[in-house]
């Protein structure tokens, strides 16, 4: 069997926070691989280590012990400068609260990660426009965030996360602020992007969001509790149920108008 390229490999990942009175063991030896093209939902109760893991996958923080590879690079051996470099060039973040810059247009917001690398040319602008079109905002290029709905703002954030050709899209509760109709649209967009080969890692506490992924990893007390593949059938059922729920809401709204 040929070995599939990995977006990331996590091996014995450990994170301890040393406080005055105690040491918090936020991650206690977590190991798993994410092949390129995978779509992983990370779940677990509050305090189980999800954010800590996401911070390390996003090169925002380093482990106390263990290894974390992005492609062939072992980030646990990097300096802060090297981490910052990887973060700005190869990680695509999507947050619950969108984190867009209000003064900038859709296209400019998508270009932000490139500004930080001094890339300001027409080529970059064209790439941002292409991504805006890909996420369905081709007719909103010069709008500012406050002229967009929540779902549209999250689309901008998703396009921005792709502008650098990242190892993966790292999404922290990406539908946490969205209603069921918009959640359905954003998850359909993730399906499309994953269908094109994009790797997605998202944190969610909602089962029906997690069931749209190809795989569900559960953390508990800083350890890997389970790592489960989601069958195509189960994904399809989750898709259908969400689409039906979204349609019911749409119909209700239609009646109310």
Q: In this chain, which stretch among 17-25, 80-88, 113-121, 161-169 interacts with ligand ADP, using CB under 6 A?
A: 17-25
- Binder of residue 52, out of ligand ADP, Mg ion, none (CB less than 5 to 8 A by kind): ligand ADP
CA gap 72, 9 in Å, rounded: 9
> Cβ neighbours of residue 148 under 8 Å, at least 6 residues apart?
106, 140, 156
CB count, 10 Å around CB of 228? Answer: 11
Q: Specify the residue, 24 or 229, whose C-beta has the smaller distance to Mg ion.
A: 24
Angle in degrees, CA 48, 53, 56, rounded to 5: 155
- Of the candidate residues 2, 3, 21, 46, the single one contacting ligand ADP (CB under 6 A): 46
Range 52-91, binding ligand ADP (CB under 6 A): 52
- Say how far apart CA 136 and CA 181 lie, in whole Å: 16
| 3-state DSSP assignment of residue 202 | strand
Q: Is 90 helix (H, G, I), strand (E, B) or coil?
A: helix
- Taking the complex as a whole, the smallest distance from the CB of residue 198 to ligand ADP amounts, in Å, to 24
Q: Which of 35, 37, 47, 150 binds ligand ADP (CB under 6 A)?
A: 47
Size of the site for ligand ADP (CB under 6 A): 12
177 binds Mg ion (CB under 5 A): no
For Mg ion, the binding residues in 35-74 under the rule CB under 5 A are 50-51
Report residue 119 CA to chain centroid gap: 24
Question: Which two structure tokens, joined as six digits, stand for 173?
Answer: 């509760």
Per-residue x/- mask for ligand ADP, residues 24 to 43, rule CB under 6 A?
Answer: x-x-----------------
Q: Which residue lies nearer to ligand ADP by CB, 141 or 223?
A: 223
Residue 51, phi then psi, degrees to nearest 5: -65, -40
CA distance linking residue 112 with residue 106, whole number of Å:
10
Please report whether residue 180 would count as binding Mg ion according to CB under 5 A: no
Residues that bind ligand ADP (CB under 6 A): 17, 19, 24, 26, 44, 46-52
Residues that bind Mg ion (CB under 5 A): 50-51
């Amino acid at each position: 069997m040929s070995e599939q390229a990995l977006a990331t490999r996590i091996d014995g990942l450990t994170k301890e926070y040393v406080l005055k009175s105690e040491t918090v063991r936020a991650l206690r030896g977590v190991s798993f691989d994410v092949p390129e093209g995978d779509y992983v939902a990370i779940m677990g109760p509050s305090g189980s280590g999800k954010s800590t893991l996401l911070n390390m996958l996003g090169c925002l923080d380093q482990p106390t012990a263990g290894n974390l590879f992005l492609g062939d690079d072992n980030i646990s051996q990097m300096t802060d400068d090297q981490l910052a470099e990887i973060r700005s060039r190869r990680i695509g973040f999507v947050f619950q609260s969108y984190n867009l810059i209000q003064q900038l247009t859709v296209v400019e917001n998508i270009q932000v990660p490139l500004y930080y690398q001094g890339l300001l040319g027409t080529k970059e602008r064209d790439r941002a426009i292409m991504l805006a079109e890909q996420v369905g905002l081709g007719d909103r290029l010069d709008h500012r965030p406050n002229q967009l709905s929540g779902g549209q703002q999250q689309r901008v954030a998703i396009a921005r996360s792709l502008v650098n050709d990242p190892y993966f899209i790292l999404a922290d509760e990406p539908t946490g602020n969205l209603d069921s109709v918009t959640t359905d649209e954003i998850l359909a967009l993730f399906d499309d992007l994953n269908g094109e080969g994009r790797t997605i890692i998202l944190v969610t506490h909602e089962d029906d969001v997690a069931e749209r992924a190809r795989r569900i990893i559960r953390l508990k007390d800083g350890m890997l509790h389970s790592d489960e593949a989601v069958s195509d059938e189960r994904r399809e059922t989750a898709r259908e149920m969400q689409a039906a729920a979204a349609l019911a809401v749409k119909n209700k709204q239609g009646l109310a108008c």
